[in-house]
Amino acid sequence: MPVKKTTKKTAALKAKSKPAKLYYYRIFFDDNEKKNYMKSILTHKQVERYLNAYKKTHQKFLNSEFIEYLRKYDKKTEMIEISDISY
């Protein structure tokens, strides 16, 4: 007689968390007027809160420095550089 396989998940499989959502943002508030994009697991509200805190402590705003500041709170934050393609 064939053995019926169970479909019950073990406790270890249930304990695994879902991968975090990545959010993509367009950053357009650089003092050098550069447009950049970034990806992060931080929500929009969190990014705005950290942006306001960053503005209070910095005189000049640069996207690359802001990304470094955000990495304290999300190590996966990364800047995405967009460049034109010509052919």
**pLDDT for 17-27, tens place per residue?**
677 788 888 87
Which letter, b or e, does each residue of 10-46 get, where b requires 16 or more Cβ atoms within 10 Å of its Cβ?
Answer: eeeeeeeeeeeeeeeeebeebeeeeebebebebeeee
- Taking the whole predicted model, whether its pTM rises above 0.85 is answered as no
Low-confidence ranges of the chain (pLDDT < 50): none
Model pLDDT, residue 9: 60
